[in-house]
Amino acid sequence: MRIIDGIIHALLWISLGLFWLNPPSYTHLKQTMKQIPIVKKLVNNKLVDKKIKNKKPSFEMIITDKPYDFVNVSLKERLTLLSAKIGQPIFIRIFKEEALLEIWIDTGSEYVHLKDYIICAFSGDLGPKLKEGDEQAPEGFYTVKKYQLNPNSKFHLSFNLGYPNRYDKAHKRTGSALMVHGNCVSIGCFAMTDEKIEEIYKLVEKALQKGQKSVHVHAYPFRMSEKNMSFYEGNEWYDFWVNLKEGYDYFESQKIPPTIKIENKRYEIYE
Protein backbone atom coordinates (compact mmCIF):
# COMPACT_ATOMS: atom_id res chain seq x y z
CA MET A 1 0.00 0.00 0.00
CA ARG A 2 2.90 2.35 0.87
CA ILE A 3 4.52 1.60 -2.48
CA ILE A 4 1.33 2.60 -4.37
CA ASP A 5 1.00 5.83 -2.35
CA GLY A 6 4.61 6.64 -3.13
CA ILE A 7 4.06 6.15 -6.87
CA ILE A 8 0.97 8.43 -6.84
CA HIS A 9 2.84 11.19 -4.99
CA ALA A 10 5.75 10.90 -7.39
CA LEU A 11 3.45 11.27 -10.43
CA LEU A 12 1.82 14.35 -8.89
CA TRP A 13 5.18 16.03 -8.31
CA ILE A 14 6.27 15.22 -11.87
CA SER A 15 3.08 16.77 -13.28
CA LEU A 16 3.55 19.94 -11.23
CA GLY A 17 7.13 20.19 -12.39
CA LEU A 18 6.17 19.91 -16.07
CA PHE A 19 3.47 22.58 -15.63
CA TRP A 20 6.02 24.90 -13.98
CA LEU A 21 8.59 24.38 -16.75
CA ASN A 22 6.08 24.78 -19.62
CA PRO A 23 3.02 26.81 -18.48
CA PRO A 24 0.19 27.57 -20.97
CA SER A 25 0.35 31.01 -22.59
CA TYR A 26 -2.11 33.75 -21.72
CA THR A 27 -3.36 33.70 -25.33
CA HIS A 28 -4.11 30.00 -25.10
CA LEU A 29 -5.98 30.47 -21.82
CA LYS A 30 -7.98 33.34 -23.30
CA GLN A 31 -8.98 31.29 -26.35
CA THR A 32 -9.97 28.38 -24.14
CA MET A 33 -12.17 30.59 -21.96
CA LYS A 34 -13.89 31.99 -25.07
CA GLN A 35 -14.99 28.48 -25.95
CA ILE A 36 -16.84 28.16 -22.64
CA PRO A 37 -20.21 29.94 -22.91
CA ILE A 38 -21.39 31.95 -19.92
CA VAL A 39 -24.96 30.79 -19.87
CA LYS A 40 -26.30 32.86 -16.97
CA LYS A 41 -25.09 36.05 -15.33
CA LEU A 42 -26.52 37.98 -12.38
CA VAL A 43 -27.36 41.58 -13.31
CA ASN A 44 -29.40 43.73 -10.96
CA ASN A 45 -30.46 40.60 -9.09
CA LYS A 46 -31.79 39.02 -12.31
CA LEU A 47 -30.38 36.11 -14.23
CA VAL A 48 -29.71 37.09 -17.84
CA ASP A 49 -28.13 35.27 -20.74
CA LYS A 50 -25.33 37.39 -22.17
CA LYS A 51 -23.24 34.95 -24.12
CA ILE A 52 -25.76 32.87 -26.06
CA LYS A 53 -28.44 35.52 -26.63
CA ASN A 54 -29.48 35.57 -30.31
CA LYS A 55 -26.99 32.82 -31.13
CA LYS A 56 -28.01 29.89 -33.29
CA PRO A 57 -27.92 26.52 -31.53
CA SER A 58 -24.78 24.53 -32.20
CA PHE A 59 -26.86 21.37 -32.82
CA GLU A 60 -29.62 20.43 -35.24
CA MET A 61 -32.98 19.64 -33.64
CA ILE A 62 -34.54 16.43 -34.89
CA ILE A 63 -38.35 16.41 -34.74
CA THR A 64 -39.96 13.03 -35.16
CA ASP A 65 -43.33 12.65 -36.83
CA LYS A 66 -46.24 12.10 -34.49
CA PRO A 67 -48.87 9.48 -35.33
CA TYR A 68 -51.59 10.93 -37.54
CA ASP A 69 -54.58 12.08 -35.52
CA PHE A 70 -57.51 10.31 -37.17
CA VAL A 71 -59.81 11.26 -34.29
CA ASN A 72 -59.63 15.04 -34.20
CA VAL A 73 -59.20 15.70 -37.91
CA SER A 74 -62.48 16.71 -39.56
CA LEU A 75 -64.29 14.35 -41.91
CA LYS A 76 -64.37 17.05 -44.58
CA GLU A 77 -60.61 17.51 -44.38
CA ARG A 78 -59.98 13.78 -44.70
CA LEU A 79 -62.32 13.43 -47.68
CA THR A 80 -60.62 16.35 -49.41
CA LEU A 81 -57.16 14.96 -48.70
CA LEU A 82 -58.09 11.56 -50.17
CA SER A 83 -60.10 13.04 -53.07
CA ALA A 84 -62.97 10.88 -51.78
CA LYS A 85 -66.69 11.49 -51.51
CA ILE A 86 -69.46 10.43 -49.17
CA GLY A 87 -71.20 7.56 -50.94
CA GLN A 88 -68.10 5.55 -51.78
CA PRO A 89 -68.00 2.05 -50.23
CA ILE A 90 -66.79 1.96 -46.63
CA PHE A 91 -65.58 -0.60 -44.10
CA ILE A 92 -65.81 -0.33 -40.30
CA ARG A 93 -63.63 -1.80 -37.57
CA ILE A 94 -64.42 -1.57 -33.87
CA PHE A 95 -61.91 -2.07 -31.06
CA LYS A 96 -63.33 -2.45 -27.56
CA GLU A 97 -60.18 -1.99 -25.49
CA GLU A 98 -59.20 1.13 -27.42
CA ALA A 99 -62.85 2.35 -27.43
CA LEU A 100 -62.41 3.19 -31.10
CA LEU A 101 -64.48 2.93 -34.26
CA GLU A 102 -62.45 3.10 -37.47
CA ILE A 103 -63.84 3.93 -40.90
CA TRP A 104 -62.03 2.99 -44.11
CA ILE A 105 -63.11 4.12 -47.57
CA ASP A 106 -62.72 2.38 -50.93
CA THR A 107 -60.52 4.41 -53.28
CA GLY A 108 -60.73 1.94 -56.16
CA SER A 109 -57.73 -0.31 -55.63
CA GLU A 110 -57.83 -0.62 -51.85
CA TYR A 111 -59.47 0.74 -48.72
CA VAL A 112 -57.80 3.74 -47.11
CA HIS A 113 -58.07 4.82 -43.49
CA LEU A 114 -60.58 7.67 -43.47
CA LYS A 115 -61.32 8.60 -39.87
CA ASP A 116 -61.61 7.35 -36.27
CA TYR A 117 -64.36 7.98 -33.74
CA ILE A 118 -64.15 7.53 -29.98
CA ILE A 119 -66.80 5.13 -28.68
CA CYS A 120 -68.65 7.10 -26.04
CA ALA A 121 -69.96 4.05 -24.16
CA PHE A 122 -70.23 0.27 -24.36
CA SER A 123 -71.04 -2.27 -21.70
CA GLY A 124 -69.55 -5.57 -20.65
CA ASP A 125 -66.00 -6.87 -20.80
CA LEU A 126 -63.66 -8.18 -23.47
CA GLY A 127 -65.18 -11.28 -25.01
CA PRO A 128 -68.19 -12.08 -27.20
CA LYS A 129 -71.86 -11.64 -26.42
CA LEU A 130 -73.36 -14.98 -25.36
CA LYS A 131 -76.99 -14.46 -24.45
CA GLU A 132 -79.82 -11.99 -24.20
CA GLY A 133 -79.41 -9.75 -21.18
CA ASP A 134 -75.70 -10.35 -20.47
CA GLU A 135 -75.01 -6.70 -21.42
CA GLN A 136 -72.03 -7.76 -23.52
CA ALA A 137 -71.21 -5.94 -26.76
CA PRO A 138 -70.62 -8.41 -29.61
CA GLU A 139 -67.34 -9.44 -31.19
CA GLY A 140 -67.14 -10.92 -34.66
CA PHE A 141 -67.79 -10.18 -38.32
CA TYR A 142 -71.09 -8.49 -39.15
CA THR A 143 -72.81 -6.81 -42.10
CA VAL A 144 -75.17 -3.85 -42.27
CA LYS A 145 -77.78 -3.54 -45.04
CA LYS A 146 -80.34 -0.83 -45.81
CA TYR A 147 -83.12 -2.38 -43.76
CA GLN A 148 -80.88 -2.27 -40.67
CA LEU A 149 -80.72 1.54 -40.69
CA ASN A 150 -82.97 3.39 -38.27
CA PRO A 151 -83.22 7.16 -38.82
CA ASN A 152 -85.98 7.37 -36.19
CA SER A 153 -84.10 5.67 -33.37
CA LYS A 154 -84.78 6.78 -29.81
CA PHE A 155 -80.97 6.90 -29.61
CA HIS A 156 -80.88 9.68 -32.24
CA LEU A 157 -79.68 7.51 -35.15
CA SER A 158 -78.73 3.84 -35.27
CA PHE A 159 -77.87 0.86 -37.42
CA ASN A 160 -78.23 -2.75 -36.37
CA LEU A 161 -75.08 -4.90 -36.54
CA GLY A 162 -77.01 -8.04 -37.41
CA TYR A 163 -76.23 -9.96 -34.22
CA PRO A 164 -76.61 -12.89 -33.94
CA ASN A 165 -74.96 -13.81 -37.24
CA ARG A 166 -74.60 -17.39 -38.52
CA TYR A 167 -71.52 -17.96 -36.37
CA ASP A 168 -73.30 -16.77 -33.23
CA LYS A 169 -76.30 -18.96 -33.99
CA ALA A 170 -74.06 -21.96 -34.57
CA HIS A 171 -72.76 -21.43 -31.03
CA LYS A 172 -76.31 -20.96 -29.68
CA ARG A 173 -75.73 -17.34 -28.77
CA THR A 174 -78.80 -15.19 -28.30
CA GLY A 175 -79.62 -11.49 -28.24
CA SER A 176 -81.12 -8.80 -30.42
CA ALA A 177 -80.99 -5.10 -31.32
CA LEU A 178 -77.21 -4.80 -30.98
CA MET A 179 -76.46 -1.48 -32.62
CA VAL A 180 -74.13 1.40 -33.21
CA HIS A 181 -76.14 4.44 -32.13
CA GLY A 182 -76.07 7.89 -30.55
CA ASN A 183 -77.13 9.25 -27.16
CA CYS A 184 -73.95 7.98 -25.43
CA VAL A 185 -75.69 5.24 -23.39
CA SER A 186 -75.25 1.52 -23.86
CA ILE A 187 -76.50 -1.86 -22.71
CA GLY A 188 -74.63 -4.10 -25.13
CA CYS A 189 -74.38 -1.58 -27.98
CA PHE A 190 -71.61 0.69 -29.20
CA ALA A 191 -72.78 4.21 -28.35
CA MET A 192 -71.44 7.40 -29.89
CA THR A 193 -72.21 11.04 -29.22
CA ASP A 194 -75.07 12.37 -31.34
CA GLU A 195 -72.66 14.56 -33.31
CA LYS A 196 -70.43 11.61 -34.24
CA ILE A 197 -73.22 9.16 -35.06
CA GLU A 198 -74.54 11.69 -37.57
CA GLU A 199 -71.28 11.48 -39.53
CA ILE A 200 -70.98 7.70 -39.21
CA TYR A 201 -74.64 7.10 -40.11
CA LYS A 202 -74.37 9.36 -43.16
CA LEU A 203 -71.31 7.49 -44.42
CA VAL A 204 -73.09 4.13 -44.03
CA GLU A 205 -76.41 5.32 -45.44
CA LYS A 206 -74.96 7.03 -48.52
CA ALA A 207 -72.67 4.10 -49.32
CA LEU A 208 -75.68 1.76 -49.29
CA GLN A 209 -77.75 4.19 -51.35
CA LYS A 210 -74.96 4.45 -53.94
CA GLY A 211 -74.84 0.69 -54.50
CA GLN A 212 -72.77 -0.94 -51.76
CA LYS A 213 -74.74 -4.10 -50.97
CA SER A 214 -73.70 -4.22 -47.33
CA VAL A 215 -71.24 -2.48 -45.04
CA HIS A 216 -68.92 -4.89 -43.26
CA VAL A 217 -68.35 -4.24 -39.56
CA HIS A 218 -65.58 -6.16 -37.81
CA ALA A 219 -65.79 -5.94 -34.01
CA TYR A 220 -62.62 -6.90 -32.12
CA PRO A 221 -61.71 -7.02 -28.43
CA PHE A 222 -58.48 -5.09 -29.13
CA ARG A 223 -55.95 -4.47 -31.89
CA MET A 224 -54.85 -7.99 -32.67
CA SER A 225 -51.10 -7.48 -32.77
CA GLU A 226 -48.79 -10.31 -31.78
CA LYS A 227 -47.95 -8.41 -28.58
CA ASN A 228 -51.58 -8.10 -27.56
CA MET A 229 -52.33 -11.70 -28.46
CA SER A 230 -49.42 -12.84 -26.34
CA PHE A 231 -50.67 -10.75 -23.42
CA TYR A 232 -54.11 -12.39 -23.54
CA GLU A 233 -52.89 -15.92 -24.25
CA GLY A 234 -54.35 -17.30 -21.04
CA ASN A 235 -57.78 -15.76 -21.57
CA GLU A 236 -60.77 -18.09 -21.88
CA TRP A 237 -61.57 -16.53 -25.29
CA TYR A 238 -58.06 -16.83 -26.70
CA ASP A 239 -58.94 -19.51 -29.27
CA PHE A 240 -61.92 -17.47 -30.46
CA TRP A 241 -59.69 -14.42 -30.81
CA VAL A 242 -57.13 -16.43 -32.78
CA ASN A 243 -59.93 -17.12 -35.29
CA LEU A 244 -60.86 -13.40 -35.40
CA LYS A 245 -57.20 -12.53 -35.95
CA GLU A 246 -57.29 -14.32 -39.30
CA GLY A 247 -59.71 -11.70 -40.61
CA TYR A 248 -57.77 -8.91 -38.92
CA ASP A 249 -54.47 -10.02 -40.49
CA TYR A 250 -56.01 -10.36 -43.94
CA PHE A 251 -57.23 -6.78 -43.97
CA GLU A 252 -54.01 -5.47 -42.46
CA SER A 253 -52.02 -6.98 -45.32
CA GLN A 254 -54.44 -6.59 -48.25
CA LYS A 255 -56.41 -3.44 -47.26
CA ILE A 256 -59.52 -5.11 -48.69
CA PRO A 257 -62.22 -6.66 -46.47
CA PRO A 258 -62.07 -10.45 -46.81
CA THR A 259 -64.92 -12.72 -47.81
CA ILE A 260 -65.96 -14.52 -44.65
CA LYS A 261 -67.89 -17.77 -44.43
CA ILE A 262 -69.02 -19.89 -41.49
CA GLU A 263 -67.78 -23.47 -41.74
CA ASN A 264 -67.64 -26.05 -38.95
CA LYS A 265 -68.64 -23.41 -36.41
CA ARG A 266 -65.71 -21.14 -37.18
CA TYR A 267 -64.95 -18.15 -39.40
CA GLU A 268 -63.16 -19.04 -42.62
CA ILE A 269 -61.36 -16.27 -44.49
CA TYR A 270 -61.38 -16.10 -48.29
CA GLU A 271 -60.17 -13.55 -50.82
Active-site residue (options: 181, 184, 216, 218): 181
Let me know if 189 is a catalytic residue: yes
Mean pLDDT of 124-129: 95
At 167, is the secondary structure helix, strand, or coil? helix
**What is the model's pLDDT at position 217?**
98
Does 6 or 82 have the greater pLDDT score?
82
Mean pLDDT of 58-70: 58
Mean pLDDT of 108-127: 94
Let me know if 181 is a catalytic residue: yes
Residue of 248, 195, 168, 251 lying closest to 75 (CA atoms): 195
**What is the model's pLDDT at position 122?**
86
Provide CB contacts within 8 A for 267, sequence distance 6+: 140, 141, 167, 243, 244, 246, 247, 260, 261
Between strands 179-181 and 259-263, the pairing is unpaired
Residue of 143, 118, 117, 110 lying closest to 250 (CA atoms): 110
Active-site residue (options: 156, 189, 216, 218): 189
Mean pLDDT of 102-125: 95
